[in-house]
Amino acid sequence: MILKRPLVFPIKKPKTIFIQVLKAIEQMMEKKYENKEVEKTSKFIYKKDLLETLIENDIIKLRCKNEDYRKERSSYYARLNQTFLNPLSVDLKYIEISEDRRNKKIYLTPVGKEILNIFRYLI
């Protein structure tokens, strides 16, 4: 009888806010593709929709409000990129962002899905 040892590797717990954002992305994808048959790898959400959801849920906030609507939206996008999307995509590799110039698409990677399953109890 041959016994194999399971792979052992360290898992570093991500910040709770990152897990909340991943959960929001997953819920938005489930809602968008609720009654549709699509491969799991091709599911995506738009960056603008994610921003709206994070604003509604008070996950993303600005230090001070801007009177000009366009500048305020620009500030929200900059905050979204710096605080959430860059760390989640570049550093942690939990999400992928399309290279489109407009209407950027956000995909969950297999690593991101696994992290959601492992740390689901934190949400």
User: What domain range includes position 57?
Assistant: 16-122
- What is the distance between the alpha carbons of residues 18 and 24, in angstroms, rounded to a whole number? 10
User: Domain for residue 6, yes or no?
Assistant: no
Counting the structural domains of the chain, the total is 1
Q: Which two tokens stand for residue 104?
A: 């950027």
For residue 106, the 8-state DSSP code is: E
Please check whether residue 11 lies inside any domain of the structure: no
pTM of the model: 0.88
Phi, psi of 71 (to 5 degrees): -70, -35
CATH number of the domain residue 52 falls in: 1.10.10
Condensed to tens digits (0 to 9), the pLDDT of residues 65-123 reads 889 999 999 999 999 999 999 999 999 999 999 999 999 999 999 989 989 998 888 77
What's the pLDDT tens digit per position in 6-29?
766 677 889 999 999 999 999 999
Please say whether the dihedral angle defined by the alpha carbons of residues 11, 12, 16 and 21, taken in this order, is positive or negative.
negative
